[in-house]
Structure 1
Amino acid sequence: MKRLTDRRTILLAAGTTAAAAMAGTVAAQSADILGTVVYEGGAPIPPGRIRISLDGGSSSDAARSAAPASLDSNGKATSVEFAVPQPAAGARAATPVEVVATLEREADGWLLARGSAPFTPGAPITITLYTAMY
């Protein structure tokens, strides 16, 4: 005997399809901003501490409240990968967010280099550090 398709089966199939579509879009969004820090001219990054933070202008308290990521450079690597938490959706829409990286000497915190890059969701970020001039 052939079974007829009833309303309950159709609604179950539609609900399952909708749930799978929503799960796919949520899984595609990353909770972190991923990127790479390089030094000018492709040279090795000098030894020190690299601090990566978000700067969103004057009204972005959510971007500033995130703790900056901190990485160590041994003086031999030409690039360092990083991940920092993404700002809240409301803060991202209000002002453009910029990812800022600073290289400081570990002994005394002296600024050696600085670089920044604009944050665009879903795009890879590459920050080039430029020597600080005093």
Structure 2
Amino acid sequence: MTRLTDRRAVLVAVGTAAMAAASGSVTAQSSDISGIVEFENGEAIPKGQISVYLEDPAQQTQARSLSAAEVKSTGGAKTVEFTLAPAPSGRSSAPMQVVAQLQRADGWLLARGSVDYQAGTPVRITLYTVMY
């Protein structure tokens, strides 16, 4: 009889570990940074490529970007949604910024915007026209 009890305890432990592992992967997915990008004055976002990335402004090197996402703008939408992977653990320092840049197909920068990132809150970035 002890053998059945030991076997049952092992099976319960394995099942509990499997459930914890499965729920851990779901939790990791929900830590993604999500938000929207809009253009100044509520106008339609011009046609181009929107790059959204998480930046550590404390770093003074070129490798300040920790995570990035690309979104295409067709030129008619007033807002564009994005999802960004969280920063790799151990590489980020507070405070972080989420930066969005809109470029034409030829690489010309049209607009840029940024916002300080606070964990657990959706991000809303307003793009402002770049003046040359």
TM-score under structure 1 length normalisation: 0.72
Q: 1:12-27 to 2 correspondence within 5 Å?
A: 12-27=11-26
Match status 1:115 vs 2:123: no
2:51/2:100 contact within 8 Å kept: yes
In the other structure, the counterpart of 2:28 is 29
Consecutive unaligned residues in structure 2, runs of 5 or more: none
Q: CA deviation at 1:100?
A: 0.3
- Whole-Å separation in 1 of the counterparts to 2:99 and 2:20: 35
2:56/2:95 contact within 8 Å kept: yes
In the other structure, the counterpart of 2:94 is 95
In the other structure, the counterpart of 2:128 is 130
Q: Would the alpha carbon gap of residues 108 and 64 (structure 1) be closer, same or farther in structure 2, given more than 3 Å must change?
A: closer
Computed over aligned residues only, the root mean square deviation of the Cα atoms, in angstroms, reads 3.0
Q: CA deviation at 1:119?
A: 3.1
1:63/1:88 contact within 8 Å kept: no
Q: Would the alpha carbon gap of residues 24 and 10 (structure 1) be closer, same or farther in structure 2, given more than 3 Å must change?
A: same
Q: What does the per-residue CA deviation read over 1:5-32, in whole Å, with 9 as the maximum and x for residues that have no partner?
A: 6133123213312320232022221285
In the other structure, the counterpart of 1:48 is 48
In the other structure, the counterpart of 1:80 is 80
Q: What does the per-residue CA deviation read over 1:99-133, in whole Å, with 9 as the maximum and x for residues that have no partner?
A: 10012333461x33211123344432221212334
1:101/1:115 contact within 8 Å kept: yes
- Whole-Å separation in 2 of the counterparts to 1:54 and 1:74: 23
2:53/2:66 contact within 8 Å kept: no
- Whole-Å separation in 2 of the counterparts to 1:102 and 1:86: 18
- The letter for the 2-side match of 1:35 is G
- The letter for the 2-side match of 1:56 is D
- The letter for the 1-side match of 2:111 is A
Consecutive unaligned residues in structure 1, runs of 5 or more: none
Match status 1:10 vs 2:9: yes
In the other structure, the counterpart of 2:65 is 64
- Percent identical pairs in the alignment equals 38
TM-score under structure 2 length normalisation: 0.73
